[in-house]
Structure 1
Amino acid sequence: MRTIYIVIAAAIWLTCAANTQKQARKGLKTTEVLRHESPQADLVKRGEYLVTIMGCADCHSPKKLGPQGPVPDMERFLSGFDSAQPLGAYDKNVVKTGQWVIFNAQNTAFAGPWGVSFAANLTPDDTGIGTWTFEQFNLAMRKGKFKGIQANRPLLPPMPWQNYTKMSSADMKAIFVYLKSLKPVPNVVPAHLPPGQI
């Protein structure tokens, strides 16, 4: 009888030991995965999520025709108004009345009472935000200053910078880190055209 108790106890002990080892291996694998996920990678993922739900590509990416209509051209993703394309003609009298705002077919150029504004290149190329510091980006997003320089003109419509003034510092940083991780796209976006020049 005593032998049976010893065998049962040994079986229970071996089962518990095997389960403990399984759990330890699972924990080790989780730890190994976490070690490969750097804080920078986490910021990039968070930034990509924010840029996506904020609709930044709606205005800052040239478009191409997809099965369900225009979609961002991923080869020129977030590179702003395509400077290789002509602006195109539009009825300037309609815009001058202040009752209409006109967007180009790419949704990257905008005519209104302020003149014509062009979506900026947000890629890390030198023609985009490649030389920008986080402080510049933060100033542009929170204070609406062109190129993130205090003495510059305000950002023009339809850029909704006012919506981002209360964004957390962590989210602002994540967006900046994500934008800096993108493929640089050389594209010099034209300067704003004041109302008298359109």
Structure 2
Amino acid sequence: MIAFAAGVAGLPAAGHADAKRGAYLAAIMDCGGCHTPGIMLGKPDFERALSGGNVGFQIPGLGVFFPPNLTPDDETGLGKWSKADIVKAVTKGERPDGRMLAPAMPWHSYSQLTAKDADALASYLKSLKPISNKVPAISGPNEKPGGLYLVVTQP
């Protein structure tokens, strides 16, 4: 498997043009910069690229959020999500259960993706090898976080 500097897993097999475009998009969107274990600690685990970050983001007043597993693992990742669910999350910030994504996720910027590019990104994520990696749960503002985190402050 080829690993890019941004922590994005290798390209899909030949003949999957949409997924190859999605791999390119995941790299330039820096998905691996948050969703790869160890990346925020300077020790990226590219063997588990995109399987969820182990450093969270504290949003004052909201809690601590950990970047989820983007691989198609059924239990800890996006395995039960459809491509349409992924596109909606990336472009509208909404999960299949109706919950909005954490404010640290730059979906507002990603909302500018064309429909074709958003679908290509979803195709790529669905083409990845499933990796079981459960990230720490979201913790509320008065709860103890389940791992290390960065504090996000507004300018």
Which range, TM-score by smaller chain? 0.7 to 0.9
Deviation (angstroms), 1:71: 5.4
**Which residue in 2 is equivalent to 1:57?**
32
Q: What residue identity is the alignment partner of 2:86?
A: F
Q: Deviations 1:166-192 (Å, cap 9, x if unpaired)?
A: 211110111111111112110122321
1:129 to 78, 89, 101: 78
**Which residue in 2 is equivalent to 1:46?**
21
- Change over 3 Å in CA distance of 1:59–1:37 after alignment to 2: closer
Q: What residue identity is the alignment partner of 1:119?
A: P
For the aligned residue pairs, the C-alpha RMSD in angstroms reads 2.2
Deviation (angstroms), 1:110: 1.1
Structure having the larger proportion of residues in helix: 1
Indicate yes or no: 2:124 matched with 1:149. no
**Which residue in 2 is equivalent to 1:72?**
44
Q: Deviations 1:62-99 (Å, cap 9, x if unpaired)?
A: 1269xxx92531111101134xxxxxxxxxxxxxxxxx
- List aligned pairs for 1:1-150, cutoff 5 A: 38=15, 41-63=16-38, 70=42, 72-82=44-54, 108-113=55-60, 114-126=62-74, 127-146=76-95, 148-150=96-98
Deviation (angstroms), 1:144: 1.0
TM-score (norm 1): 0.60
* Identity across matched positions, percent: 43
Structure with larger RCO (C-alpha < 8 A, sep 6+):
2
Q: Distance in 2 between matches of 1:189 and 1:174?
A: 25
Q: What residue identity is the alignment partner of 1:121?
A: N
**Which residue in 2 is equivalent to 1:196?**
142
Q: Distance in 2 between matches of 1:109 and 1:158?
A: 10
Q: Distance in 1 between matches of 2:44 and 2:22?
A: 18
TM-score (norm 2): 0.75
- Change over 3 Å in CA distance of 1:178–1:161 after alignment to 2: same
Gaps of 5+ in 1: 1-35, 83-107
Gaps of 5+ in 2: 1-12, 145-155
1:166 to 92, 112, 120: 112
